[in-house]
Amino acid sequence: MEQIIERTSPWLLRRHPFLGATFSSSPSDDDEGPSTSFKPDQTERRRRKGHPAIDPLTPPPPASEFPPYEPRDFFRYELIHQSKKSAARVGRIHTPHGVIETPGFVAVGTNGALKAVPHQELAAAGVDLMFANTYHLMLQPGPDLVASAGGLHEFIGRDAPIITDSGGFQVFSLAHAGEKDGLEMKSRKPSKHKDAAGLLVKVDEDGVLFKSYRDGSRVSLTPESSVEAQKSLGADIIIPLDELPPYHIDRAVLERSVFLSHRWEARSLKAHLRDVRRQAMYAVIHGGVDEDLRRMSAEYLTSLPFDGFAIGGSLGKDTAELIELLGHLMPRIPKDRPNHLLGIGDEGSILGSIPHGVDTFDSTFPTRSARHGTLLTRTRGRVNIRRSENSTTHEPPCWECACRLCRHHTLSYLHHLDKAREPMMWTLATEHNLHYMGWLMRTQREKILNDEV
């Protein structure tokens, strides 16, 4: 234990020096993914250290341990129009740094920056909310440095809403890199670390222990330390720590994971309520594609005073399964608070989710697609800029788009930039796809207002 503590991130260590051990992450018997298994020897170690044993299905704290929910003066959801045709709705989320029009797309700026594009472009594109990842910012430059700069808004120069996650998604997705995990629980091997599957060292009742993909050093992340990191970052909306099992997982293992996430989220909420700092916290509803577990998760988390509700974990193997999941889950989510669908941003999933009342969506899909040469357009559909016919197409990608690419350049020019590996290609294509997402959400809001969706 002393060796683990010595190699743990100093920022987290001085705040949470104890790394307990009750559960550990290891392959299940049928090799369908990691399982959260109870180990008697670890139970005995907890007893010796004064920590009681925790059964995997121990229920989380009851709602009676929390104050009742009351709308914040700095954060609230305003319903503008409820469609007469479906559960789709138009609203506004009021935050300390501005209003978020919903339904709305959320751009992902992993390290506090959009790749190849200044975040100021989001306003021109009509994208109100930006996502930043606590995991990456925790490893570099560190929450303390960001706090010393005045918080993330000051550090990156953004006077508009920001949401940060707990860091858990990156920890678990890197650990499951390469597995077919279904929607949201998507994972890719990090470019700077060959042994992605070895990054997750341990999952236990206290939190997770993982290796930094930057230098291999061990870092602990607990519900409390994740909240404290997000307090230092100062985002308008923050997320509690949760466990993210993959799509292919035994039902009993998934049930234990949901209970663990509930206990972690309750601890996160208590830490948040001790020092709110004009920040809102969204719960993360889990349960995979199991209807009973999703219902149980929704019933428990909506009984707590969270400011909004995110839908996370594995969301199905495809869009059809996602939409089916939302059909029985969304009616259980309070209508007086905002909701968010984590990690979903392709057009088909968005258009299928909005009629169920989803407010916001975050994804790297449009920006990542742009860097790989795919443009999302109103008139041509998806355009692969690398196709040979685009080398002589002296027309803009979309005559109706107001982005810089479509106003001043052509497909042939962008094809040339891509072939020459000019970084300007990334910038122009990413700006265009962000403008497309802004247009898509704006048209959906208009259709809802007209009761067409």
In a 3-state reduction of DSSP, which class is residue 423? coil
Query: Other CB atoms closer than 10 Å to residue 37's CB: what's the count?
Result: 17
In a 3-state reduction of DSSP, which class is residue 412? helix
Q: What per-residue confidence (pLDDT) applies to 10?
A: 34
Catalytic residue among 206, 290, 362, 418: 362
Q: How far apart are CA 192 and CA 166, in angstroms?
A: 22
State the angle between helix axes of 251-273 and 223-233 in degrees (0 to 180), rounded to the nearest 10.
50
Q: How far apart are CA 374 and CA 397, in angstroms?
A: 11
Q: What is the pLDDT along the chain (453 residues), one digit of tens a residue?
A: 322 222 233 333 333 322 233 333 333 333 333 333 323 334 334 444 555 568 999 999 999 999 999 999 999 999 999 999 999 999 999 999 999 999 999 999 999 999 999 999 999 999 999 999 999 999 999 999 999 999 999 999 999 999 999 988 778 876 655 444 445 444 333 334 444 446 778 889 999 998 888 888 898 999 999 999 999 999 999 999 999 888 888 999 999 999 999 999 999 999 999 999 999 999 999 999 999 999 999 999 999 999 999 999 999 999 999 999 999 999 999 999 999 999 999 999 999 999 999 999 999 999 999 999 999 999 999 999 999 999 999 999 999 999 999 999 999 999 999 999 999 999 999 999 999 999 999 999 999 999 999
**CA quadruple 260, 266, 270, 275: dihedral sign:** positive
Q: How far apart are CA 338 and CA 335, in angstroms?
A: 7
Cβ-in-10-Å burial (0-12, 13-18, 19+) of 203 comes to buried
Residue tagged 């290796």 (tokens) = 211
Q: In what order do the strands lie in the sheet with 218-221?
A: 200-204, 207-211, 218-221
Backbone φ/ψ region at 112: left (φ over 0), alpha (ψ -120 to 50), beta = left
**Torsion of the alpha carbons at 371, 373, 378 and 380, rounded to the nearest 10:** 180
Distance set, CA 23 to CA 5, 55, 207 (Å): 18, 10, 9
Both tokens of 264, joined, read 């972690």
362 is catalytic: yes
Residue 341: name the closest of 325, 324, 360 by CA: 360
User: DSSP of 121-186, one letter per residue?
Assistant: HHHHHT--EEEE-HHHHHHTT-HHHHHHTTSHHHHHT--S-EEE--SHHHHHHHHTTTS---SS--
User: DSSP of 272-319, one letter per residue?
Assistant: HHTS-TT-EEEEEE--TT-HHHHHHHHHHHTTS--SEEEE-S---SSH
Report how far Cα 385 is from the mean position of its chain's Cα atoms: 29
Q: What per-residue confidence (pLDDT) applies to 176?
A: 57
Q: What per-residue confidence (pLDDT) applies to 51?
A: 53
User: DSSP of 56-74, one letter per residue?
Assistant: TTPPPPPGGGSPPP---SS
**Torsion of the alpha carbons at 109, 112, 128 and 122, rounded to the nearest 10:** -70
Q: Which domains does the chain have, with CATH numbers?
A: 2-363 (3.20.20.105), 370-449 (no CATH)
Catalytic residue among 165, 242, 307, 359: 165
Q: What per-residue confidence (pLDDT) applies to 174?
A: 64
Q: How far apart are CA 315 and CA 296, in angstroms?
A: 16
Q: What per-residue confidence (pLDDT) applies to 175?
A: 61
**CA quadruple 198, 200, 204, 209: dihedral sign:** positive
Q: What per-residue confidence (pLDDT) applies to 53?
A: 65
Q: How far apart are CA 42 and CA 36, in angstroms?
A: 13
In a 3-state reduction of DSSP, which class is residue 237? strand
Q: Which secondary-structure segment (H or E) carries 208?
A: strand 207-211
165 is catalytic: yes
Q: What per-residue confidence (pLDDT) applies to 5?
A: 24
In a 3-state reduction of DSSP, which class is residue 395? coil
